Amino acid sequence: MICYQCGCTLSEHDFCTNCGADVALYKRIIYISNRFYNDGLERASVRDLTGAITSLRQSLKFDKNNVEARNLLGLVYFETGEVVAALSEWVISKNMRPKKNIADDYINMIQTNQNRLDAINQTIKKYNQALTYCNQDSLDLAVIQLKKVLSLNPKFIRAHQLLALLYINSEEWERAKRELTKCLEIDTNNTATLRYLKEVDEMLLPEEGVKNSSKKKKEEIVKYQSGNETIIQPVNMKEGRGVTSLLNLGIGLAIGIAIAFFLILPARIQTARAGLDEDLRKVSEQSDAKTATIDELQQQLSELQQQNETLQQDLTAYMGKDGTLKSVESLMKAAGAYLTNPEDVTAVADYLTEIEEERAQEEEHESSEAFDTLYNTLLALIGPQIAESYDEDGHAAFWAGNYADAIPNLEKAFQYDATNGQALFDLANSYYRIGEEAKAGEIYRQVIELFPNTEKADKSKATLAQIEGAEE
């Protein structure tokens, strides 16, 4: 265990021997996180994957930097067919520990196998298509899609469960039970699977419920336990005696109240009054002692809250180096959007834009090799499509005279395709036509520098001469 503040190895003391930081609470947090990790490991070893996921998530709530717990969570996700979720956990783990991290092997296992990537992509597409068919009430088509999904990824629990539900809907109980049994072979303690299986078993054995119901109707006596004795009572007799018992109970209660009011109550009131002063004195002394204790506890609480705030600040600063967490989240969303729907380049572009904006705000940006590899791969896959989309939107706004909307789209078009000289030239024209001549002049010079000996460069020189002449 290392110090969260200076990175020095901690001893058995409750403070860091190097920087003097109070690490007692930090050690407790790490200890709890490791306990949940061990519990998740034990559950995973007996294929209680649902319980393992719960324990590992709890472990990461206490210590987000627990790389072992995060890697194991990725493996559990992968075992349940949730490949995208597994890849997300491994990439985050790789960014937290760039070197000597087994997550690197897991990521390479997926990225270097093009067939596996294609299978993952097809799995997600077909599963989403099956959901669409379900929403459209095209259940037969949904069944066909889910069978294709399971042929590509036999461990995809959600696909097995959805297929079982479709079989339940069509009252194909045996087929539903087979799918649910396959789920239990993967995850022995999946709550949804167990609930569906119970319902299926009840439908496969309906005669049991009928037998129990008829048996109850035939019973003419009521049995109940009183201490060590078993009381057997006819139903009719129970009803009659119930009325009598209620009547006797009411009479007895009235007599008891009368006795208490006239005989017992006055004596007890007098005794209570005699001891009232003594009780008040004792309460006063206890109150003073408790007040002092409360003041002391409040002071301790204030100190602990201050220590906790300091620890949280230090922990935030420690985890926020390079801004990796937000960047990784945006990158994972971009990867997920692409895997779900490769044609929806706008969604992927929005997430990549978030990454660029965060990088622009950082004075010094550092990222892992895995992060850069995945980012550059996504950019290479959809960069041309993004550039084309922004170019179309930008020029449509430009020719419509809507220069305010044209500017951001043309900027993005040139950002993702540095060879698009027309987008850069029309960007300068847009700034010129809204009156921002200084910005327009800057971009015209960029056109002249990047695209010399072209018609765009000549036009840029002419317009630039007009701007500079107007300034003189």
Domain ranges of the chain: 24-112, 117-207, 241-283, 323-471
What rounded mean pLDDT belongs to the chain?
77
**Residues 468, 441 contacting (CB under 8 angstroms):** yes
Q: In the chain, what percentage of residues exceed pLDDT 90?
A: 25
The pTM of the full predicted model, rounded to 2 decimals, is: 0.43
CA distance linking residue 395 with residue 427, whole number of Å: 9
127-139 pLDDT, tens per residue?
Answer: 999 999 999 999 9
Residues 6+ apart with CB under 8 A from 112: none
What average pLDDT does the segment 191-206 reach?
Answer: 88
∠ CA(271), CA(273), CA(277), 5° rounding?
Answer: 120
CATH of 323-471, picked from 1.10.1740.10, 1.25.40.10, 1.10.357.10, 3.30.70.20, is: 1.25.40.10
Q: What is the pLDDT of residue 467?
A: 85
- The total of other beta-carbon atoms located within 10 Å of residue 398's CB is 21
pLDDT at residue 298 in the model: 78
**Lookup: tokens for 167:** 């079989």
Please tell me whether residue 224 adopts helix, strand or coil conformation: strand
164-168, 256-260, 284-288, range with greatest mean pLDDT: 164-168
Residue pLDDT, tens place only, 398-424: 898 899 999 998 988 888 888 888 989
Longest pairwise C-alpha distance within the chain: 119
3-state secondary structure of 74: helix
**Backbone phi, psi, residue 9, to 5°:** -65, 130
The span from the CA of 172 to the CA of 165, in Å, is: 10
Question: What average pLDDT does this structure show over 97-126?
Answer: 86
On the question of pLDDT at 269 being above 50, the answer is: yes
Least confident range from 78-82, 87-91, 220-224, 268-272: namely 220-224
Strand, helix or coil for residue 313? helix
- Is domain 24-112 classified as CATH 1.25.40.10? yes
How far is it, in rounded angstroms, from Cα 202 to Cα 194? 12
| Rounded CA separation 351/329 (Å) | 9
**DSSP three-state, residue 156:** coil
Name the CATH topology of 117-207: 1.25.40
Encoded tokens for 10: 């901690």
Question: H or E stretch including 119?
Answer: helix 114-135
Q: Where do we find the tokens 């007996």?
A: 46
Within 10 angstroms of residue 399's Cβ, the number of other Cβ atoms is: 10
Is the fold of 24-112 the same as that of 323-471? Answer: yes
| Residue 322: per-residue pLDDT | 43
Contact between 410 and 391 (Cβ < 8 Å):
yes
Calculate the dihedral angle through the C-alpha atoms of 357, 363, 368, 371, rounding to the nearest 10 degrees. 0
pLDDT at 273 over 80: no
Half-sphere exposure of 63 (CA within 13 A, CB side): 22
CB atoms within 10 A of CB 385: 16
Q: What is the DSSP letter of 431?
A: H
Q: What's the pLDDT score for residue 26? A: 74
**Per-residue model confidence as pLDDT tens digits over 45-64:** 988 989 989 999 999 998 88
Distance CA 179, CA 169 (A): 14
CA pair distance 315, 298, nearest whole angstrom: 25
